[in-house]
Structure 1
Amino acid sequence: MISLPRDRMDQLVKRFDMLEAQMAAGPDADAYVKMASEYSELQDIAGKIRELFKAEGELADLEAMVADKSTDAEMRSLAEADLPDVEKRIEALRQDLQILLLPKDAADERNAILEIRAGTGGDEAAIFAGDLFRMYERYAANQGWRMELMSASDGDAGGYKEIIASVSGKGVFAKLKFESGVHRVQRVPATEAQGRIHTSAATVAVMPEAEEVDIEIKPEDIRIDTTRASSSGGQHANTTETAVRILHIPTGIIVVQAEKSQHQNRARAMQVLRARLYDLERSRADQERSDARKLQVGSGDRSERIRTYNFPQGRVTDHRINLTLYKLDRVIEGELDELIDALVADHQSKLLAAEGL
């Protein structure tokens, strides 16, 4: 039987009830917004806890009825018949609460910055980077998310040397965060006359979008250069004469934006820089935690090969959880739910083990 922290569950329900009472009392607008946010976060878990407590009460009543010698035979028979269903319902509720009570990643509900860069493999790597971007575009559309292109550097034979986009919607980072790493493709390039299979790669980075309050960027820590942008044309040809390049001196991080307007370039470059710095801080904190508690899916290192897309065999393999699916055509069309759900489940099982649950 699953063991759950009863004291913590009692406290969560009391907190939920208190918020409900305070909101009904008509607080000022700012206080109401804060309360409503916490109320929304607690609503699901408080509801599940109440369901569990109610079911446990039903179970206790049924067991007492069965144990009571004065209960008539027909009532005892009905109670005995109901017991398995109630026990099954309690076990399902406890499993749900196990997950809901796990430590939350504060960034899970944030929007994300998605960066894809061609790796080894020349032109084929850039083409593959384009395939990955379209895969995530379709997945985002299926999730009801909004994806907005921030910058792109076209590949010489198609695809992208680098492409950056923002993804906004409900639970974006919670699902996309497991996509960070090296994605490898094995296929016969269109330009290969001999029909030989080539291996190339692209690197994906998914970072939670950071607000100004999350990361302080001091004016003296950055150098902003404005240069004349050039473009070879293509789907996302640059149309501005002034590209913006920001160097973050303490970390050496460089962000370049060369899209439609200098003002927009500067704002977007700062947005990407904040996300990279925030991600750097999170990575440091994760590393410190993982030294003591092994909670990561894989190592989390973006140099690690996480997934292989093998076109001749029609398979995709996620190496972190040893999952192989023979539906590459559907995955590359954006059907990522099975892969992402499996990664989330694996991560949750590691958290459960670490919590001793």
Structure 2
Amino acid sequence: MSNYQEQYILELRSGIGGQESNLFAEQLLRMYCKFISKSNWGFKIENITKVSTGGIREVIVVITGIGVRSWIINECGVHCVQRVPVTETKGRIHTSTVTIVGLAVCSGKNDTAVKRDDLKIETMRSTGAGGQHVNTTDSAVRVTHLPTGISSMCSQKSQHRNKSNAMVCLEQKLSCCITKIKNISYSVIRGKQISGSIRTAKVRTYSFIRDTVIDHRLGKTVRNITKVLDGNLDLLNPICK
């Protein structure tokens, strides 16, 4: 058992089904908020896009607590709802989807922490303007991050200041590089979890017709859909702390 407070982003986006999908996304948000509160986790809605005709198009929730990761990985994917919409005059059953994505939140601490063994620090004579002192002493400093090959160089009069400034510049370059890598990784993760937001890629089906919720990934079926939507998700996906 772990006492580590994990922080994850839960993203809900309406998929196939138009207005029904927007309404279902709103229902799922309510379900998740109730479940998170019952689990004694903290959460904050960072961004939400509501639809004027009802429901939501997308929402981002930040969740903090113990055991979030082991729970959220089984929620990610396409969730389907099967029901007769209130606007349906012929009694036809509609199938709509909402996509769920879970992403770990990076604290930002030590993201660009650099080990001394990973650095190559060189001093050399400055070739720029600055007078006799700059041109005849080894005051310029170049710092290279060996694992990535990223380098930074400063060539003012003070070697000590050059080293400090070169380190700052290097960390900024590394931070920019890490951010780009994270964005690419998040895009890949989203793509894998969503699987195109198609009905055949579903991980869970909420059937109002049969009054059941089927989790295809976990191989579980629970009756009483109202109870599940009221935040009792532990019936399908218990928390592992």
Deviation string, structure 1 residues 309-349 (Cα, Å, up to 9, x no partner) = 001111010111322111211001110112113x97xxxxx
In structure 2, C-alpha distance between the alignment counterparts of 1:41 and 1:187, rounded to whole Å: 40
Check 1:321–1:165 CA distance in 2 against 1; reply closer, same or farther (3 A cut). closer
In structure 1, C-alpha distance between the alignment counterparts of 2:108 and 2:176, rounded to whole Å: 16
In structure 1, C-alpha distance between the alignment counterparts of 2:12 and 2:69, rounded to whole Å: 16
* Offset, 1:194: 1.7
Contact 2:13 2:100 in 1 (8 A): yes
Structure 1 runs of 4+ aligned residues shifted over 2 Å read 213-222, 276-281
In structure 2, C-alpha distance between the alignment counterparts of 1:146 and 1:189, rounded to whole Å: 33
Indicate the RMSD between aligned Cα atoms, in angstroms: 3.1
Residue among 213, 233, 236 paired with 1:336? 233
Q: Which secondary structure state, in structure 2, belongs to the residue aligned with residue 111 of structure 1? A: strand
In structure 1, C-alpha distance between the alignment counterparts of 2:68 and 2:193, rounded to whole Å: 20
Check 1:126–1:214 CA distance in 2 against 1; reply closer, same or farther (3 A cut). farther
Higher share of residues assigned strand: 2
Counterpart amino acid of residue 328 in structure 1: I
Higher relative contact order (CA 8 A, sep 6+): 2
Deviation string, structure 1 residues 66-87 (Cα, Å, up to 9, x no partner) = xxxxxxxxxxxxxxxxxxxxxx
In structure 2, C-alpha distance between the alignment counterparts of 1:314 and 1:308, rounded to whole Å: 11
Residue among 302, 310, 313 paired with 2:210? 313
Deviation string, structure 1 residues 202-236 (Cα, Å, up to 9, x no partner) = 000111221114755857569xxxxxxxxxxxxxx
TM-score where L is the length of structure 2: 0.63
Residue among 68, 78, 83 paired with 1:182? 78
Residue among 89, 103, 106 paired with 1:210? 106
Q: Which secondary structure state, in structure 2, belongs to the residue aligned with residue 192 of structure 1? A: coil
Check 1:141–1:194 CA distance in 2 against 1; reply closer, same or farther (3 A cut). same
In structure 2, C-alpha distance between the alignment counterparts of 1:210 and 1:279, rounded to whole Å: 12
Structure 1 unaligned runs (5+)? 1-39, 43-107, 223-247, 252-273, 284-299, 345-357
Check 1:279–1:214 CA distance in 2 against 1; reply closer, same or farther (3 A cut). farther
- Matched with 1:260 is none
Higher share of residues assigned helix: 1
Check 1:136–1:41 CA distance in 2 against 1; reply closer, same or farther (3 A cut). closer
Identity %: 33
Residue among 43, 52, 59 paired with 1:163? 59
- Matched with 2:137 is none
TM-score where L is the length of structure 1: 0.44
- 1:1-357 mapped onto 2 (5 Å cutoff): 109-213=5-109, 215=111, 250=180, 279=186, 301-303=193-195, 304-341=201-238
In structure 2, C-alpha distance between the alignment counterparts of 1:301 and 1:149, rounded to whole Å: 21
* Offset, 1:188: 1.1
Structure 2 unaligned runs (5+)? 113-171, 196-200
Contact 1:187 1:197 in 2 (8 A): yes
In structure 2, C-alpha distance between the alignment counterparts of 1:147 and 1:318, rounded to whole Å: 24
Q: Which secondary structure state, in structure 1, belongs to the residue aligned with residue 81 of structure 2? A: strand
Task: Tell me the number of residue pairs that the alignment of Structure 1 and Structure 2 aligns.
Answer: 174
- Matched with 1:67 is none
* Offset, 1:169: 1.9
